[in-house]
Amino acid sequence: MTQAVTSAGRTLSTVRELILRGELSPGARLGETELADRLGVSRTPVREALGRLAAEGLVEIVPNRGARVTSWTVAQLEEVFDLRATLEPKLTALAVPHSTADDAAELERLALAMQRTGAPGPGRDLDALVPLNRAFHGLLVALADRPATAAALAGAVHAPIVLRNFHTYDDASLARSLAHHVEIAAAVRARDPAWAAAVMTAHIHNARAVMVRAARCTTAEGTQA
C-alpha cells in the first residue's frame, strides 16, 4: 500500500468521524486548506475525502461555493425515520432466529455498557455511546443477513449526522433509548422476533421525537437570527 493511498484512507476516516461526532456541525464550511492544515496532510487527500463523503450524503459540494457539512430539514429527517421504522424492525426480527447464545450475550453486554456509560453522573460519556450503539445495531443487521435491506438502511442511518449525536437527548429520552437496547437483547435471548421488532419500533420513534424536536428548534433559531 502506497503512502498516498494510506493518507487518503486515513483522511477520509478522520473527516467522517469529525462529522459523525459533531465536531464539524451541520452547515459548517469545509475548506480544503483549513482541513489539510488541521489534519497535517496535503489538499489532495482532503479533496478526495470530500468527494467520497458527498457520495455518502455527509457533505454537500456546491459549485463555486465549496463544501459544507450536510444540513437536514425537518421534512427530510421525518422521511429518514419513516424509512428506518420500516426497515430496522424487520431486520431486527430476522436477526432473532439467526442468533446464537453468544450473539445474545454480546448484545446484552453492549446494551448494559451503554446504560453504564450514559447514566447521569460524573462518569457519563455521551461520545463513548456512539461506537457501542454502532456495534449493537450493526450486529443485529449482520445477523439478519439481508444485504439489500441492510444497504438501504445504511443510507438512511448514515447520512443524517444528527442521528449520531447523543448530546441532543434529554435525560428521560436517553434513558428510554438505553433501556430499549437492554430489552431488545432480552427479546433476542428469548428468541421472540415480534417482541424484538416491537421494541425496535419504539426505539426509532423515541429517536424520531428527539431529533425532529431538535431540528425544529434549530430552524426556529435560524429564522429568528
Residue 52 has pLDDT above 70, yes or no: yes
Three-state SS at 163: helix
Q: In which band, very low, low, confident or very high, does the pLDDT at 165 lie, cut at 50, 70 and 90?
A: low
Burial letters 56-79, b for 16+ CB under 10 A, else e: eebbbeeeeeebbbbbbeeeebee
Q: In what order do the strands lie in the sheet with 29-30?
A: 29-30, 66-69, 59-62
**Where residue 195 falls among pLDDT bands split at 50, 70, 90?**
very high
Mean pLDDT for 47-62 is 88
For the domain spanning 74-224, the CATH number is 1.20.120.530
Q: Is a pLDDT exceeding 60 seen at residue 92?
A: yes
Rounded-to-integer distance, Cα 8 and Cα 28, Å: 22
Condensed to tens digits (0 to 9), the pLDDT of residues 98-156 reads 999 999 999 999 999 999 999 999 989 988 998 899 899 999 999 999 999 999 888 77
Give the tens place of pLDDT for each residue, 65-91. Answer: 889 988 778 888 888 899 999 999 999
Residue at 8: amino acid letter: A
DSSP state of 61: E
Q: Which residue has the cell 456509560?
A: 117
Element (H, E) at 8: helix 3-20
Domain range list for the chain: 3-69, 74-224
CATH number assigned to the domain with residue range 3-69, chosen from the 4 options 1.10.10.10, 1.10.20.10, 3.40.50.1220, 3.40.50.300:
1.10.10.10
| Nine-digit cell string for 4 | 498516498
Residue 56 has pLDDT above 80, yes or no: no
DSSP characters for 24-53? S-TT-EE-HHHHHHHHTS-HHHHHHHHHHH
